[in-house]
Amino acid sequence: MMRLWVNSYSRSTPVATSATLSTVAHVAIIALWVIATLPSSDVPRNSIANRVVYIPPPDRVPTQRSSAPAVRYVELAPPGPGFGMGPRMMGDARPSTADETKGNQARDSVTAPAEVAALPPGPDSVFSILEVDTAVVRSANSAAPAYPLDLLNAHITGSVSAQYVVDTTGFADTTSFTVLKATHPEFVTAVKEALPYMRFSPAKIGSTKVRQLVEQQFSFHIADTATIAAPVAAKKKP
């Protein structure tokens, strides 16, 4: 019995020795690793090397959503000779499409300008002598300015250049009277006093009577009575 126990113990001794050696070796390795990782005495305690720093991972950039593929439909030309939707013809020349034909017609066509209808002159329109077809004509029975007596006795002659509007009834518009040039104020007064009694044939554009701006010069001259009386006396002799 004792012999069996000794034999079994002697066979298990190498196994126990190997486990012990392995444990000792691991402890030695761990001790060396701890010693090697200890901070150096040259590095200050407040250094970053003696601190545990947590560095967060970078933010994840959101990716763009993938867009759904667009499906486009293309109209194919019908079978047969020709190009596109144009007329089907044979030959070397490329047939023109409907759009090209339409564009050529629009480019080559000439459109006559529309006739602008002539608008009838308004009642307040005033035309110059160059704009009317028939100008104003003074009537034969129209009044004339009277020679001022003071200037006549003083043998003073002169003239008045004035502008005024003749309306469609043949009367002068006294409110439009404007003096352009005058040699004496009394001559101007004589013209203004005679203006309401003057009669005219109104201007016309076509067959329509219109208002016209008239520029007229009134001359005041003294005739020699002796010169006028001699021809009259010669005619009365038998």
**Is 214 within the bounds of a domain?**
yes
Answer whether 160's CB lies under 8 Å from 146's CB: no
Query: What pLDDT is recorded for position 165?
Result: 95
Query: What pLDDT is recorded for position 59?
Result: 72
Answer whether 213's CB lies under 8 Å from 126's CB: yes
Which domain, by its residues, includes 190?
Answer: 126-219
**Is 212 within the bounds of a domain?**
yes
Run of H or E including 214: strand 208-220
What CA–CA distance (Å, rounded) separates 208 from 125?
A: 12
- The pLDDT of residue 3 is above 90: no
Task: Tell me the CATH number at 211.
Answer: 3.30.2420.10
Handedness of CA 180, 183, 186, 190 (dihedral sign): negative
- The pLDDT of residue 17 is above 90: no
**Is 32 within the bounds of a domain?**
no
Answer whether 203's CB lies under 8 Å from 125's CB: no
Query: Within 13 Å of residue 82, how many CA atoms lie on the same side as its CB?
Result: 14
Helix, strand, or coil (residue 18) = helix
Q: What separation, in Å, do the N-terminal and C-terminal C-alpha atoms of the chain show?
A: 214
Q: Please, what is the average pLDDT of the chain?
A: 75
CA distances from 119 to 27, 93, 162, 205 (A): 121, 53, 31, 11
Of the pLDDT bands very low, low, confident and very high (cuts 50, 70, 90), residue 76 is: low
CA distances from 11 to 5, 8, 20, 22, 23 (A): 10, 5, 16, 19, 20
**Is 21 within the bounds of a domain?**
no
Query: What pLDDT is recorded for position 116?
Result: 46
pLDDT, greater one: 70 or 194 = 194
**Is 204 within the bounds of a domain?**
yes
pLDDT, greater one: 114 or 134 = 134
The pLDDT of 15-37, averaged and rounded, is: 81
Q: What is the pLDDT of residues 140-182, one digit of tens each?
A: 889 999 999 999 999 999 999 999 999 999 999 999 999 999 9
Number of domains in the chain: 1
**Is 12 within the bounds of a domain?**
no
**Is 195 within the bounds of a domain?**
yes
CB atoms within 10 A of CB 19: 10
CA distances from 188 to 175, 176, 214, 233 (A): 15, 14, 16, 36
Answer whether 216's CB lies under 8 Å from 144's CB: no
Q: What is the pLDDT of residues 204-216, one digit of tens each?
A: 999 999 999 999 9
**Is 74 within the bounds of a domain?**
no
